Amino acid sequence: MSHSSIRSYLTPRLGIMLPLGFASGLPLALTGGTLQAWLTEAGLDLTTIGLFAYVGLPYTLKFLWAPVMDRIVPPWLGRRRGWMLVTQSGLALALTVMALIGPAEGAQVFAALALAVAFLSASQDIVFDAYRTDLLKPEERGLGAATWVMGYRIAMIASGSLALILAARLNWSAAYLCMAALMALGIVTILLSPEPEDAQVAPKSMAEAVWGPLSEFLSRPMALALLGLIVLYKLGDAFAGALTTSFLLRGMQFSSEDIGVVRAFGMGATILGAFIGGGLMPRLGLFRSLFVFGVLQALSNLSFMWLAWAGKSYAVMAFAVGAENLTGGMGTAAFVALVMSLCNHRYTATQFALLSSVGALGRVFLGWPAAKLVEMAGWGPFFFVTFLAALPGLWLLWVLRKPVAQHAELNAGRSAAGAPC
């Protein structure tokens, strides 16, 4: 990482990305894996526990109410920070109520509270993404994404491993109360955070807030092709990731303890990769970063094919997981910067939510095809196909190299008139 990148990292704009990333990542496990552990220990049947998975729907549907957060400006702290304070405070309150009531008081009431936490968390993500996009300068976005990823991953450790340890040593209510108290970090950071320098005027009506982001984006040259790039860029990565854990457990017969160690190692590799990618982006530029990191992502999938052929080898597994997470972190830093570059600051909340939802389509729909492919062809050919699945995204990126570079240049200019950013 260059000295200029290090100096950039020390700016207040990038410094606040760490605690805000932490605040963004903390609620996820509390409505997912950690909640599932609480429900299991509370004695709920598997059918009921399975139904609780639906509380995560707001994360995939958040684009539906993102226009509200673009249109309505709270009477305090501005359009972005005002909503950030509302969602953070609401999360702290909802988690506190969950802790005090618990599943023993009734699964329906508890499920409603969990859904409220997920809704507030998804809403928080909407406005956090918008604030990050509005605040960071184009040359800071790679490192900003890397710092955000670090905070997010630390939060997942806190709401996952730490919460489980607290529940075992104290009780579940105490664990969730501690998680609610950690929300204070986000609230303090929000109060101390600066306003974006080029904050845009909110849409004049709800109709504009809903249709304006769509019409503005679709009016751009190559708009549909850019949407295709958003879908395809991480497709190979998502395809392989759909069954990586099952491959290690069932295909290679590694133990759950082995997987736990690998996940911790992989989390560190992801953070390192994000920082390497973020540090290189100011020098490489957006297009070259996307292309180089995308090639490395694709090649990393072949390391799992090597593991499938080599058999149960801890050394090869460590290499494969490390390579996949390292390159995935690099690709994520560039991908987030790409999504930021495609957002108009007048509609950042809605456009970022829509684009990120489009980008997540691969993760949502590839599980079943991946399983069928493994059944038909086996693990080695499956991972080779995931490598091939990454190539169309790289080809489309090459075709769109001029539009991608133009959007990056528009961001560098920061048009006061609200040009596409």
Task: Using the CB atoms, write b or e for 35-67: b if 16+ within 10 Å.
Answer: bbbbbeeeebeeeebeebeebbebbeebbebbb
Mean pLDDT, range 276-301, rounded to an integer: 88
Residues 331, 300: one domain?
yes
The confidence score (pLDDT) of residue 278 equals 80
Question: What distance in Å separates the CA atoms of residue 26 and residue 30, rounded to the nearest whole number?
Answer: 7
- pLDDT number for residue 293: 93
The mean-pLDDT minimum among 149-153, 322-326, 359-363 falls in: 359-363
pLDDT score, position 382:
87
User: Is 55 or 332 the better-scoring residue by pLDDT?
Assistant: 332
pLDDT at 416 over 50: no
Mean of pLDDT values over 225-237? 86
157 and 225 housed in the same domain: no
> Which residues, in sequence order, are CB contacts of 168 under 8 Å at separation 6+?
none
Q: Report helix angle 286-310 to 379-399, nearest 10.
A: 170
- In percent, the amount of the chain with pLDDT more than 90 equals 10
Beta-carbon-side half-sphere exposure of residue 351 (alpha carbons within 13 Å): 29
Domain co-membership, 49 together with 173: yes
- Backbone φ/ψ region at 378: left (φ over 0), alpha (ψ -120 to 50), beta: left
Q: Which domain holds residue 133?
A: 1-202
User: 41 with 53, same domain?
Assistant: yes
With respect to residue 419, please indicate whether it lies within any of the assigned structural domains. Answer: no
Q: How far apart are CA 88 and CA 169, in angstroms?
A: 27
Question: Amino acid identity, residue 174?
Answer: A
Q: Are residues 124 and 217 in the same domain?
A: no
In a domain, 417, yes or no: no
Per-residue pLDDT tens digits for 119-176:
999 899 888 888 888 888 777 777 787 888 888 888 888 887 788 888 888 888 898 9
Which one-letter amino acid corresponds to residue 216? E
Where among 202, 218, 237 does a domain terminate? 202
- Higher-confidence position of 169 and 182: 182
Q: Are residues 192 and 275 in the same domain?
A: no
The answer on 180 and 272 residing in a single domain is: no
Whether 187 contacts 124, CB under 8 Å: no
Q: Tell me which of 202, 226, 251 is where a domain ends.
A: 202
- What's the CATH code of the domain at 361? 1.20.1250.20
Q: How far apart are the first and last CA of the chain?
A: 26
Q: Say if residue 415's pLDDT is above 60.
A: no
Task: Calculate the average pLDDT of the chain.
Answer: 81
- Looking at per-residue pLDDT, the higher value among 392 and 109 belongs to 392
179, 202, 225 — which closes off a domain? Answer: 202
Instruction: Check: CB of residue 162 under 8 Å from CB of residue 170.
Output: no
